Amino acid sequence: MSVKDTIKRKLTEAFEPLRLEIIDESHRHAGHAGHHPDGESHFRVEIVAPAFSGKSRVERHRMVNTVLAEELAGRIHAFALKAFAPDEATGA
């Protein structure tokens, strides 16, 4: 299973998102620190889920980081995250 597919599976199981966008930006970092020759080292994620309602930005990031701890400690070098509650998602 690819890193992107693993991220999708784990975030979907943990948060049941209304919207989940996972973008592999590894190709933009070729030759830079942390780049893996096979890609899948730099990701940008946007997630909208009810689980984030009433949570601060820091709490949301901690929730996601906990779910993806294994991946963040391994193959993923850079991970940009935008996490929204459903009522914040308009225009996100």
Domains of the chain: 3-88 (3.30.300.90)
Output the CA angle 31-67-77, nearest 5 degrees. 10
List C-alpha distances in Å: 17 to 20, 38, 41, 83: 6, 28, 23, 10
Using 70 as the pLDDT threshold, list the residues of the chain that sit under it: 27-39, 90-92
pTM for the whole structure: 0.85
Residue 71: which of 29, 27, 41, 33 has the closest Cα? Answer: 41
Distance (Å, whole) CA 78 – CA 34: 8
pLDDT at position 41: 82
Distance (Å, whole) CA 12 – CA 47: 10
pLDDT at position 76: 86
| HSE-up of residue 83 (Cα within 13 Å, Cβ side) | 24
pLDDT at position 33: 58
pLDDT at position 83: 98
